[in-house]
Chains A and B, each alone.
Chain A
């Protein structure tokens, strides 16, 4: 790389524009690929990279001044080079377009986890892992933005890195903090670099570009604007909904406008279909088809992968609990999507239906059924199970705890399981009965 390269000016207007993204997780696998057809599998396998490419395209198309990437670009634990090189390729394009890139490393791609052999373009800056680093982004020799960020030095940072960020200086232009952190609890993510909104707000910055939480969210609209960009391409049903990046425009009067740009090729979707008022399996199919069409019409990505949860009570439940019924239903809809563009693929059907029954009446029967219902009710309300049952359940989870494969059953899920167990029992105990 040559020194003193004059960056071509990306835009003529006086607004500052940048792309905020994070958690690219390039090369991260997708769940449920094996069960869907080869075309979808291919789509999923490149979806992450496609999302990244779309971010690049968006940056170039909008002639942004720079791109902020707030960590977790790839999984450095796997020590794979392919993702880093693909990432590098995209950065090359931004460099060619005259767009700078400012990166903080996250817990999945800490500072020391990158290849030493890759020579990054001049316009790419990995912010320091030793301490928060400040860089002025200049336009025509004039600083237009102050970017402060600190990379995770290692994979399991538990320190509140936000506290180490400097407070804003008065003569600083638009000040942007870049941080890979966890705000709040029960985020569904590991609580690395935990901090609070207050920690961020007190620094006096104009914008906080955060990473780590995969669901895009605007934590605070202004003063400062605090945003999690979210993962640009959902990987499983747990990362459902629209995914993308944020185009941030800072006007001369420091008014900050944010625009969410969808980048996902595949949108994961959760949908529920009620079997209330449905008498036959065909009616259910039709209802599902209608729902699929709604999803298709709403979907702006190339494809949608949908997990359907069947809810409600009705006689159709009897058909659904037959062996292979849900599988057959999934295959039925997948086959229909084989040659369809803007496909909506069924990931799976979850049956949470039950027969139509009057719980009060059941409980008044004074027989085994009422006992089952009463016990189930009691257990659901308690939200916990007795020791014998816990021990029995724990056998499986204890055996495989070390593998980290099995997720523990939390209280909510336990209640749900108790309810399902009740439904299971009632299905068998009350075959042929109708109440």
Chain B
């Protein structure tokens, strides 16, 4: 690596200072003291390796401004250029490529494996470092030199050795406080083995458990057997206890039976039978007595009952009447109601009939046809009446209207006629058109005429003027213009007005008058002008004019006059056509035009009038015709109406209605009449019904009366009462009859029963006798006694049998009854109770023990089951095996590192022993050169840090025995050796010497310069010096050395 350029931004007294184009070989930077050579040396060191360690170093703060730091442009051995930039914090750097772009690169990739110490002491040093040999002995230096042999760019030997050691210890380190991996694993293995041991021996546990299980099962079996025995015993005693009462009773019964007499036979249930017989007999006796008494009572009652046969004979009638009573009541009620209703209906009917038509009676009403035909007919009448009346009304209205219209048109026609007459004096339209045309022509031509006239006038004037001037003196205009035309005009105007008034064309007249007055006015003004001219002339106002001019003017005048005349003539003709006598003025023409326009309008209006008059007259005629027609129609309709009226009246008379009645009234009357007729019929019907009711009621009453008499029942005065009496009597008699019959029946029945009862009693007596015999008794008492004994015996026997059975059951199949009895006879009650209690106690105890054994057995079985399926220990074994495997793997890793450390150590040792002298050899050659051959060898003892030098004579000297200069030369030679050795395997760093030859004598200095030159062939060398001779010597050795002058010292 070579430095190409140095740029200092701010470092010491340097600010914005650059040194460019450093030589790849030797660059000599010269300058006096304080020029900054040491500063530059420090700058190069700092730029390559940053700040030195520790605090005691010169920071070279920028004294002249700028940011602390700068840039070093370097070129690697491969020719790649980089800028190493440190600014601000010199520990931090930036590397940029030759384009100035930052690159992600470590500075070690440029500087190699050398560190700061190594570089500062071996590559870039001054006198101070040169003289300290121990700096070369530092492990760092040694290792770098050694490491350089392996191209270690990023890992030094010490680092590697430390790493190996650390990794070893990570696996295993005896006595380590924090457990390395292997020791941790072994601890885990120990723990697991402990757990495994705890879980092992399941076979022993299993066998033991099985033995225990069998033992428990045997014991359990024994206890169960014991329990069975106890239960059996208990059962026996329980059995005895259960039948003890039976046994006691058995004994008592047996004793009692022995005391009872012996009865041969006795009928089964004999007492009961006897009792029954007796009971029955008594019962029958009682019954018989009862029945007899009953019969007698019946007979007595029967004798008291009376029956009316007549009533009974008429029972059906009575019943019939009874059934008809309700109906009777109903009929009576209906009758009364109907009578009342009928009365009211009748009254109502009469009232309404009277209201309807007082002249009507029933017959008339009945005869009145209220049918729909009648209604239709009346409706027809009404309709026709309405229609006719309506027609008449309409016709009348129409006629009125026609009349009105007609009358309204008359004045109109008169007005039109009047207007027409008024416009009779109007000229024809053709004339008017002609005149209008003429007027238009005039209007168009008169300006030309006027112009001509003006020309003429001017000509005349000129002529006149000229003539006046010419004749002024001579003549004056003669004569005055006459006034009479003006008067004529005025008269014409007045005449026109009057004519207009006469002909009702006042406007026309007025217009004409205005025209004539205008004409008069024009003429009058003409006269005035003439007079004025004349006056002027007479007053001498005319201009002088030559005769020629006058002639000319005269010619012109004449010409114009002719033109005027011609035009005037033509226009006069036209004016005449236009109704002027002569050429009118423009105003006249305008007036004339207006007049003609009015005439035209009047003519048109007259035509309209004529048309309207015609139309009106036509209409009037039509209306008159209409009126006549309508009148005729009206007459016809009135006739029809009359006829209809007559017809209507005729009909009214026919139905006995007032002739004044209108169809509407009659139509209203119809339903009422119909209703009344209906009412009439209804009344009649009701009346008939009433008759029927009355008759029916009377008949019923008659029946009742006759029946009362026949039955001999007292009448109550009313039909209902009588009926009730009859019914009651009937019922009573029926009942009596029935009662009598029942009584007789009962008597007969009772007699039969009494007979039967007597027979039964006899039978019972006989039965009793037989029973007594069966019971070996003569009388009842005896029988009963026998019966009692017999029952008791039987009862006792039964009970005895029952007790015996119980005892036999208690004895069981295995024991006979007699044996059991014999056993029981040996026992007493207290003994029985005691045995039972004792057995219960024993049973409870045995059961408890069985429970305990069962529980224990269950636990043992569970334990066995667990042992059979236990696999936790297997899992632990697996884990242990895994850990063991892991430990073995780690142990190999550890062993590998141990071996690696050993090999490395040996290799370093070998290197130091065998290869390090290469440095000495290099140094020896250089030292020999520098010393001029005085010293031929440098010796590095294995067991010493220092070196010895050997003279040509073979004399060895320690460094201490050498002069300072020679020692420095020795150290310089050694450094050269290191530099060369390092450069063989690592980056060839630039070598920087800070005036290190100062203490060398000239010869040795020259020799040293040659050595530097030799070094410069392989390494870039930058030599700082303030000595010109050194510069000369170096440049003499290296001809292409670059010399840079730092200049003056910095103050």
Contacts and interface: CB of A to CB of B under 8 A. Distances in A.
B203 A368 contact: no
Interface stretch (A165-173, A179-187, A413-421): A413-421
A271 interface: no
Contacts of B915: 366-367, 371
Interface stretch (A5-13, A226-234, A388-396): A388-396
B903 interface: yes
Contacts of B147: 368
B891 A396 contact: yes
Interface string A182-215: 0000000000000000000000000000000000
Nearest to B885: A31
Contacts of B892: 409, 413, 417
Interface string B844-888: 000000000000000000000001111101111111111011011
B204 A79 contact: yes
A115 B900 contact: no
A148 B189 CA distance: 42
B878 A45 contact: yes
A430 B151 contact: yes
A34 B886 CA distance: 11
Nearest to B163: A428
B524 interface: no
Contacts of B870: 80-82
B232 interface: no
A136 to B, nearest CB: 32
Contacts of A433: 151
Contacts of A422: 900, 903
B907 A375 contact: yes
Given A379-B903, A396-B182, A429 B985 contact: no
Contact of A431 (B153, B174, B898): B153
B522 interface: no
A414 to B, nearest CB: 8
Interface centre among B875, B882, B900 (most CB of A within 10 A): B900
A369 B884 contact: no
Contacts, number: 190
B881 A29 contact: yes
Contacts of B160: 425, 428-429
A32 B202 CA distance: 25
Given A80-B200, A81-B206, A417-B896, A396 B172 contact: yes
Given A116-B207, A417-B895, A429 B155 contact: yes
A82 B155 CA distance: 58
A425 B902 CA distance: 11
Contacts of B894: 396
Contacts of A114: 203
Contact of A369 (B150, B879, B895, B897): B150
Interface centre among A28, A82, A376, A420 (most CB of B within 10 A): A82
Nearest to B891: A406
Nearest to A34: B882
A27 B146 CA distance: 58
B150 A392 contact: no
Q: Give chain A's interface secondary structure class.
A: helix
Contacts of B819: none
Interface in A89-143: 114-117
A83 B549 CA distance: 178
B908 interface: yes
Interface string A396-435: 1101100101110100010001101110110011111100
Contacts of B152: 429, 431
A210 B696 CA distance: 145
B907 A78 contact: no
Contacts of A33: 878-879, 882
Given A376-B903, A405-B888, A428 B155 contact: yes
A261 interface: no
Nearest to A432: B153
B343 interface: no
Nearest to A372: B907
B153 A375 contact: no
Contacts of B895: 393, 396, 409, 417
A85 interface: yes
A420 B899 CA distance: 9
A79 to B, nearest CB: 4
Given A45-B878, A79-B202, A428-B163, A368 B189 contact: no
A389 B174 CA distance: 16
A239 interface: no
A240 interface: no
A221 B672 CA distance: 149
A29 B880 contact: yes
Interface in A352-378: 365-369, 371-372, 375-376
Nearest to B910: A371
A368 B910 CA distance: 8
By Cβ-Cβ distance, the 8 closest A-B pairs, closest first, are: A367-B149, A29-B877, A29-B878, A81-B206, A371-B907, A117-B210, A421-B900, A421-B899
7 contacts: A27-B871, A78-B873, A117-B210, A368-B146, A368-B157, A371-B907, A376-B903
Given A80-B203, A396-B894, A431-B154, 13 more contacts: A30-B881, A31-B882, A79-B203, A79-B204, A80-B873, A81-B867, A117-B211, A236-B881, A392-B902, A397-B891, A422-B903, A425-B900, A430-B150
